[in-house]
């Protein structure tokens, strides 16, 4: 216990002292290499962490910060422990990537022990799969107390029953489903959802003739032929239904 | 040396100024999945779709509560939760500054109430999900007549409903056998 308190004190002192020369050593405990690529992207001139004195070194004996990437696999736990022991105290331990934080997508593999915190006391978690270079910089700056933490744990409790309204109010759910499905089929879920929402905005008018006119106008003005085609094929579904219903 | 200086001045600065200035993310960037509690119906589609089980759901039948949990430390930002969510309650944002010193700050937990079966008194489904079903049925105009009956029927748990239907089926069969 005494030793732990002393270590914490030393760590606080370390954070004060190393501001301009931080040596980072990364330990790959069995990841997919995505995280490594992002770390190397982060030390490229575009992000240039050396302007804060952050430098990736090749030996744990020089390290102030240990960056554990990848899930803690059974095969890599001994090398990881050796790297941890080799780094001089006090040191800052960072769990990097979804795998380093909790095992990530590999968390239930037979040979995975979990994140870096299954073996070491972790100071900062940097989530992401992989974290972008900017997220890496942010995490390292946070580990050095240069930046504040932004994310907060949340607890939400329902006290009285909330009414959730359907996504496209005033539109027949069956039609909305077909439109959204076709839009997603043609352009993927992200854009499909946006396009379907835009189209169903028109359908809310209820008057098929007005919808027809507006869509034709929209298609005429649309510069992107792909988008125009998607709108036309959505419109076909709508018109077929309307015609069917009328007949 | 001067030549080099000239060249550098011409080319300009390549290094971004992050973290002193915000950095621009690419369009379509997949960052923190933001959860909108008031739109979630606790259907569990996201928990089923989430590849690394970052989103998990639990039922507490004693307390009558269904809980929704996300672990941002495990999320791989694939966007599948956004893809499958029927109400648009969860969507990926451009937020990437997720680093945390405490593990607890990486969690978000939400609790919704379960509905009590009016027949056997056991908790079975999230109340807001049943409300949502009702709203959808209304919008599809499937509820013109016998509206109250539907509302009552939705508050019966599947087990009791099955028993009821089996009972009425047996009655019908028995009636036919007699004639
Ligand atoms: S967090 Fe993602 S990118 Fe990093 S090692 Fe794990 S799977 Fe690979
Ligand atoms: S983005 Fe993917 S990993 Fe993250 S919570 Fe959604 S489904 Fe799960
Ligand atoms: S899919 Fe959407 S509505 Fe269903 S539980 Fe997940 S967030 Fe809630």
Tell me the average confidence (pLDDT) per consecutive run of 10 residues in chain B, 179 residues long.
87 84 86 92 94 93 92 93 91 91 92 90 90 85 70 86 83 62
pTM, rounded to two decimals: 0.86
Ligand located closest to A31 CA: 1
If one counts every other C-beta atom within 10 angstroms of the C-beta of residue A99, the result is: 35
A243 pLDDT exceeds 80?
Answer: no
Q: Which two tokens stand for residue A17?
A: 């002292």
Rounded Cα distance between B18 and B134, Å, is: 49
Which residues does chain B have within 8 Å of residue A48's beta carbon, measured at their own beta carbons? 15
pLDDT of residue A149: 87
Q: How far apart are the first and last CA of chain B?
A: 110
Q: Which two tokens stand for residue A90?
A: 């006090």
Mean per-residue pLDDT of chain A? 87
Query: Is B134 in the A-facing interface, judged by CB distances under 8 Å?
Result: no
pLDDT of residue B179: 43
A179, A234 in Cβ contact below 8 A?
A: yes
The verdict on a CB contact (< 8 Å) between A134 and B96 is yes
pLDDT of residue B74: 93
pLDDT of residue B51: 94
A8 pLDDT exceeds 90?
Answer: no
DSSP string covering chain A:
-HHHHHHHHHHHHHHHHGGG-EEEEEEESS--SHHHHHHHHHTSTTT-GGGGTEEE-S-GGG-SEEEEES--BTTTHHHHHHHHHHSPSS-EEEEEHHHHHH-GGGTTSTTB--SGGGTS--SEEE--SSPPHHHHHHHHHHHTTSS------EEEE-SSPPPPPPSSTTS-HHHHHHHHHHHHHHHHHHHHHHHHHHHHHHHTT--HHHHHHHHHHHHHH-S-HHHHHHHHHHHHHHHHHHHHHH-
Least confident of A43-52, A77-86, B124-133, B170-179: B170-179
A71 pLDDT exceeds 60?
Answer: yes
Separation in Å, CA of A184 to nearest CA in chain B? 10
Nearest CA to ligand 1 atom 2: A129
pLDDT of residue B171: 77
The verdict on a CB contact (< 8 Å) between B112 and A158 is yes
pLDDT of residue B40: 93
Ligand located closest to A68 CA: 1
pLDDT tens digits, A128-175:
999 999 999 999 988 888 888 888 888 888 888 888 888 887 788 888
Q: Tokens 């994310």 — which residue?
A: A151
A98, A119 in Cβ contact below 8 A?
A: no
- Pocket mutation for ligand 1, best pick of A38, A97, A139 (most atoms within 8 Å of C-beta): A97
Rounded Cα distance between B78 and B74, Å, is: 11
B residues 160-179 closer than 8 Å to A (CB): none
A103 or A247, higher pLDDT: A103
The verdict on a CB contact (< 8 Å) between B139 and A166 is yes
Q: Tokens 């039922």 — which residue?
A: B59
Is B78's C-beta closer than 6 angstroms to any atom of ligand 2? yes
pLDDT of residue B177: 52
> Would you place residue A13 in the very low, low, confident or very high pLDDT band (cuts 50, 70, 90)?
confident
pLDDT of residue A7: 78
CA A8 to chain centre: 31
A247 pLDDT exceeds 60?
Answer: no
- Complete domains list, chain B, with CATH: 27-173 (3.30.70.20)
A14 pLDDT exceeds 70?
Answer: yes
Region of B28 please: left (phi>0), alpha (psi -120 to 50) or beta.
left
pLDDT of residue B139: 82
SS3 label, residue B101: coil
pLDDT tens digits, A172-226:
888 888 999 999 999 988 889 889 988 888 888 777 888 888 888 888 888 888 9
A246 pLDDT exceeds 70?
Answer: no
């Amino acid at each position: 216990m005494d030793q732990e308190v002393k270590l914490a004190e030393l760590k606080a002192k370390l954070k004060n002292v190393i501001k301009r020369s931080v040596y980072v050593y990364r330990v790959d405990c069995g990841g997919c290499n995505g995280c490594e690529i992002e770390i190397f992207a982060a030390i490229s001139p575009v992000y240039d962490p050396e302007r804060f004195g952050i430098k990736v070194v090749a030996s744990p004996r020089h390290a102030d910060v240990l960056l554990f990437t990848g899930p803690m696999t059974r095969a890599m736990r001994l090398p990881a422990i050796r790297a941890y022991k080799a780094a001089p105290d006090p040191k800052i331990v960072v769990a990097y990537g979804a795998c380093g934080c909790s095992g990530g997508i590999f968390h239930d593999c037979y040979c995975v022990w979990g994140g870096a915190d299954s073996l070491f006391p972790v100071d900062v978690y940097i989530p992401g799969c992989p974290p972008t270079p900017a997220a890496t910089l942010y995490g390292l700056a946070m580990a050095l107390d240069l930046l504040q933490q932004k994310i907060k744990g949340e607890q939400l409790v329902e006290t009285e029953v909330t009414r959730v309204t359907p996504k496209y109010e005033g539109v027949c759910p069956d039609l909305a489903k077909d439109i959204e499905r076709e839009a997603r089929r043609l352009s993927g879920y992200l854009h499909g959802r946006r396009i379907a929402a835009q189209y169903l905005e028109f359908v809310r008018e209820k008057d098929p003739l007005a919808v027809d006119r507006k869509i034709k106008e929209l298609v005429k003005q649309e510069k992107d032929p792909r988008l125009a085609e998607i709108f036309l094929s959505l419109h076909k579904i709508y018109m077929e239904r309307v015609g069917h219903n009328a007949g | 040396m001067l030549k080099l200086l000239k060249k550098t001045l011409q080319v300009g600065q390549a290094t971004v100024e992050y973290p002193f200035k915000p950095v621009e993310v690419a369009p379509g960037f997949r960052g923190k999945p933001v959860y909108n509690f008031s739109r979630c119906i606790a259907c569990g589609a996201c928990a089923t779709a989430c590849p690394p089980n970052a989103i998990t759901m639990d039922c507490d039948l004693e307390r009558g509560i269904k809980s929704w949990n996300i672990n941002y430390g495990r999320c791989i930002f694939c966007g599948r939760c956004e893809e499958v969510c029927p109400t648009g309650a969860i969507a990926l944002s451009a937020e990437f500054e997720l680093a945390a010193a405490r593990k607890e700050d990486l969690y978000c937990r939400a609790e919704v109430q379960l509905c009590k079966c009016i027949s056997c008194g056991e908790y079975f489904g999230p109340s807001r999900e049943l409300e949502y079903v009702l709203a959808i049925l209304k919008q599809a105009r499937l509820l013109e007549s016998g509206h109250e009956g539907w509302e009552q029927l939705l508050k019966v748990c599947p087990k009791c409903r099955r028993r009821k239907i089996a009972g009425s089926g047996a009655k019908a069969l028995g009636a036919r056998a007699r004639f």
